[in-house]
């Protein structure tokens, strides 16, 4: 059955945060699937066949359509077992939606979305698993973008099925912002923000935490600075040198006037002298802080940051109000400082951090040196899960404002974050390291290396310093990529670039090599393109219509640039 929606002030206010997403991805007020020049909200189109419990613009329970930290003003709410079939024979554009599970009523459940174009399976989410989050309600599995070209398609069928042994009727999900759009409709909108832009492209640098924990000192940091210059990291764009936890004084952390103190045994020359040394090498100075230290001392901390020459502040373990108070104090202090919000996505910082004029914000819990993780909590997550958690957040960013996927694990070599720096058996493979560098670049995340830069091997240097891959990350258009093809373990990601070029990542999540292809229709391009393999640094010649790679390695990626 189809449930009608009733509007009241409370429901309107609840949906207000999603308006930004609606503005970016486009809204529709059209009724019926009519000529190709119109964008049509799926909820206004009558299905030719329908099965299961369906609701329009709300969840099946009548609540806002929340699909895992993202609330959609428009779309279709569904319960497991639903099927919807639409006649699209007169439409030559594309179908777009975000497929996801409602985390409130399905927190420990798993389900699967599929889309069929006539008889062909054209989208398969794979199993979306939200089972047993170890008591953590944070960072639920976020929705997956669905983009299906409709030229030549007669029937489009959408299905949602349970993939666990639980009550089928209790599993809810939805197709957020589901719509039919003309082929000429824009795929994205570039974000614009008020206030000064201190990071027109994603910040790049190095952070001490993963490799050294609290065991940092003046001599070590100066050695890192020298290595970043000698290795070519600085010239490649890694300009921020970030001191994470461990610089502050032990015990009493403030002087009698409430100003912060550093550890004089670790940093005998003082923080200003260290900042001066970093700046003398053409690099910038980053410092870690947290609400437990700063609360009530925001002005003093901000004034000290300015005095020390700090260029980036990472502010951890704090809520929305604490983040704003500290950032406001930093702006009043008068020094241009990039502000990195770190509260792990708990309060949906993509909705408010841009308005605070923060340049970047963490979107998940800490990333570890491992491929994947069942859970997303403060025990740490793998690089795959971090990448997948961020696709749905792409519409909230743009030049000057960035989703932060956390630190690069390239060359970290199995060190666990924490205070003891023990190796714990993790260690992503060389192919998985290329995956992380590729997806962090496709998603326009800050690139913060976390390895021992004084002892980098050739592979680590080759991954971190690949100029063509870095150029994708730093592209000034500032639009993060999304999946244009998803068939369970096979993915193709697209990122539009400033000059009309396209970056495409062919990703194999399987345990064996797989062939992966993409059509020009799926990439939404019509002209021939010169293709360059960015990891192999070689031209693949001109292609038109289809691009295929026969053996993408397990957990590997082929990253290409398609030039006009």
Residue 320 forms part of a structural domain? yes
> Annotated catalytic, 431?
no
Residues 453, 307 within the same domain: yes
> Annotated catalytic, 57?
no
In the numeric block, the tokens 């497991």 are attached to 80
Span 82-109, average pLDDT: 91
Confidence of residue 14 (pLDDT cuts 50, 70, 90): very low
Q: Which domain holds residue 27?
A: 2-181
Maximum alpha-carbon separation in the chain: 75
pLDDT over 70 (residue 35): no
Cα 143 to Cα 127: distance, rounded to the nearest angstrom: 12
pLDDT over 50 (residue 282): yes
pLDDT at site 38 = 87
pLDDT over 50 (residue 32): no
pLDDT over 90 (residue 216): yes
Residue 438 forms part of a structural domain? yes
Residues 426, 295 within the same domain: yes
Which range, 12-21, 37-46, 478-487, has the best average confidence (pLDDT)? 478-487
Cα 382 to Cα 369: distance, rounded to the nearest angstrom: 7
Q: In sequence order, what DSSP letters do the residues of 289-320 get, joined into one string?
A: EEHHHHTT-HHHHHHHHHHHT--EEEEES--H
pLDDT over 80 (residue 27): no
pLDDT at site 421 = 52
pLDDT over 50 (residue 557): yes
Residues 460, 491 within the same domain: no
pLDDT over 80 (residue 19): no
Span 38-45, average pLDDT: 94
Confidence of residue 34 (pLDDT cuts 50, 70, 90): very low
Lowest mean pLDDT among 69-83, 94-108, 483-497: 94-108
Domain count, the chain: 3
pLDDT over 90 (residue 236): yes
Tell how many helices (H) and how many strands (E) occur in the chain.
15, 31
Residue 362 forms part of a structural domain? yes
SS3 content of the chain, % helix, strand, coil (to 5): 25, 30, 45
pLDDT at site 70 = 94
Residues 175, 222 within the same domain: no
The pair of three-digit structure tokens given for residue 238, joined into one six-digit string: 């890694």
Q: Give the domain CATH number at 116.
A: 2.60.120.1060
57, 263, 311, 316: the active-site residue: 316
pLDDT over 50 (residue 42): yes
Residues 397, 537 within the same domain: no
Span 393-411, average pLDDT: 96
Residues 424, 443 within the same domain: yes
Element (DSSP H or E) covering residue 11: helix 9-15
pLDDT at site 170 = 81
Residue 258 forms part of a structural domain? yes
Residues 378, 504 within the same domain: no
pLDDT at site 165 = 79
Span 197-202, average pLDDT: 96
User: In the Cβ-directed half-sphere of 384, how many Cα atoms lie within 13 Å?
Assistant: 20
66, 177, 366, 376: the active-site residue: 366
pLDDT at site 139 = 72
398-435 b/e with 16+ CB inside 10 Å = b? bbbbbbbbbbbbbbbbebbbeeeeeeeebbbeebbbbb
Q: Give the domain CATH number at 441.
A: 3.20.20.70
pLDDT at site 238 = 98
pLDDT over 50 (residue 200): yes
Residues 440, 509 within the same domain: no
Residues 143, 165 within the same domain: yes
Output 161 or 69, whichever has higher pLDDT: 161
Domain stop point among 473, 500, 515: 473
Q: In sequence order, what DSSP letters do the residues of 217-269 get, joined into one string?
A: -HHHHHHHHHHHHHTTHHHHT--EEEE-TT-BPSS--B-TTS-B-B-TTT-TT
Residue 194 forms part of a structural domain? no
Q: What are phi and psi of 345, to 5 degrees?
A: 80, 10
CB-based contact 172:422 (threshold 8 Å): no
Residues 77, 160 within the same domain: yes
Residue 172 forms part of a structural domain? yes
% of the chain residues with pLDDT over 90: 78
Output 416 or 353, whichever has higher pLDDT: 353
Distances, alpha carbon 108 to alpha carbons 66, 131, 163, in Å? 16, 4, 11
Domain stop point among 425, 444, 473: 473
Which range, 5-14, 135-144, 365-374, 541-550, has the best average confidence (pLDDT)? 541-550
Lowest mean pLDDT among 22-36, 77-91, 408-422: 22-36
| pLDDT one-digit tens code per residue, 413-465 | 876 555 455 555 678 999 999 999 999 999 999 999 999 999 999 999 999 99
Residue 140 forms part of a structural domain? yes
Residue 494 forms part of a structural domain? yes
Residues 375, 449 within the same domain: yes
Average pLDDT across the chain, whole number:
89
Span 188-202, average pLDDT: 90
Residues 468, 488 within the same domain: no
pLDDT at site 25 = 37
pLDDT over 80 (residue 188): yes
Instruction: Please state, as a whole number, how many other Cβ atoms lie within 10 Å of the Cβ of residue 233.
Output: 24
pLDDT over 90 (residue 372): no
pLDDT over 90 (residue 378): no
pLDDT over 80 (residue 6): no
- pTM exceeds cut of 0.85: yes
């Amino acid at each position: 059955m189809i449930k009608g929606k009733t509007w009241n002030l409370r429901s309107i206010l609840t949906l207000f945060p999603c308006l930004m997403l609606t503005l970016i991805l486009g809204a529709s007020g059209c009724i019926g699937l009519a000529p190709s020049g119109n964008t049509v909200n799926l909820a206004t189109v009558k299905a030719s066949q329908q099965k299961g419990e369906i609701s329009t613009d709300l969840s099946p329970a009548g609540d806002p359509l929340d699909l895992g930290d993202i609330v959609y003003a428009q779309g279709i709410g569904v319960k497991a077992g639903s099927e919807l079939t639409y006649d699209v024979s007169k439409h030559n554009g594309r179908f777009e939606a975000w497929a996801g599970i409602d985390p409130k009523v399905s927190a420990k459940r798993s389900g699967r979305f599929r889309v069929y174009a006539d008889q062909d399976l054209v989208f398969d989410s794979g199993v979306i698993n939200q089972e047993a989050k170890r008591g953590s309600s944070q960072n639920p599995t976020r929705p997956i973008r669905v983009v299906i070209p409709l030229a030549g398609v007669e029937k489009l069928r959408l299905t949602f099925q349970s993939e666990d042994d639980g009550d089928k009727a209790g599993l809810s999900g939805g197709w957020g912002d589901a719509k039919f759009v003309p082929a000429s409709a824009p795929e994205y909108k570039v974000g614009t923000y008020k206030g000064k832009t201190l990071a027109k492209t994603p910040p790049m640098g190095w952070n001490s935490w993963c490799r050294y924990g609290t065991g940092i000192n003046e001599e070590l940091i100066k050695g890192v600075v020298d290595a970043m210059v000698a290795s070519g990291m600085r010239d490649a764009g890694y300009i921020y040198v970030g001191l994470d936890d461990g610089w502050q004084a032990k015990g009493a952390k403030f002087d009698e006037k409430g100003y912060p103190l550093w550890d004089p045994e670790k940093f005998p020359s003082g923080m200003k002298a260290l900042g001066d040394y970093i700046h003398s090498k053409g690099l910038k100075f980053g410092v870690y802080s947290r609400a437990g230290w700063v609360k009530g001392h925001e002005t003093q901390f901000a004034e000290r940051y300015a005095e020390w020459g700090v260029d980036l502040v990472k502010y951890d373990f704090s809520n929305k109000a604490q983040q704003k108070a500290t950032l406001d104090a930093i702006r009043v202090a008068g020094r241009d400082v990039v502000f990195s919000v770190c509260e792990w996505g708990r309060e949906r910082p993509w909705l408010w951090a841009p308005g605070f004029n923060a340049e970047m914000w963490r979107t998940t819990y800490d990333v570890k040196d491992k491929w994947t993780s069942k859970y997303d909590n403060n025990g740490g997550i793998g690089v795959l899960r971090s990448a997948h958690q961020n696709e749905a957040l792409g519409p909230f960013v743009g030049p000057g404002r960035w989703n932060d996927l956390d630190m690069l694990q390239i060359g970290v070599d199995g060190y666990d974050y924490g205070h003891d720096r023990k190796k714990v058996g993790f260690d992503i493979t060389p192919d998985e390291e290329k995956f992380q560098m590729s997806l962090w670049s496709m998603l326009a995340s800050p690139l913060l290396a976390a390895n021992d830069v004084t002892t980098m091997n050739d592979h680590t240097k080759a991954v971190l310093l690949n100029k063509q891959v870095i150029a994708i990350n730093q592209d000034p258009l500032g639009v993060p990529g999304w999946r244009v093809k998803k068939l369970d373990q096979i993915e193709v990601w697209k990122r539009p670039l400033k000059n009309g070029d396209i970056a495409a990542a062919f990703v194999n999540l399987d345990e064996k090599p797989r062939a992966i292809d993409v059509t020009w229709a799926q990439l939404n391009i019509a002209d021939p393109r010169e293709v360059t393999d960015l990891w192999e640094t070689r031209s693949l010649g001109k292609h038109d219509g289809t691009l295929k790679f026969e053996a993408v390695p397990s957990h590997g990626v082929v990253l290409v640039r398609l030039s006009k």
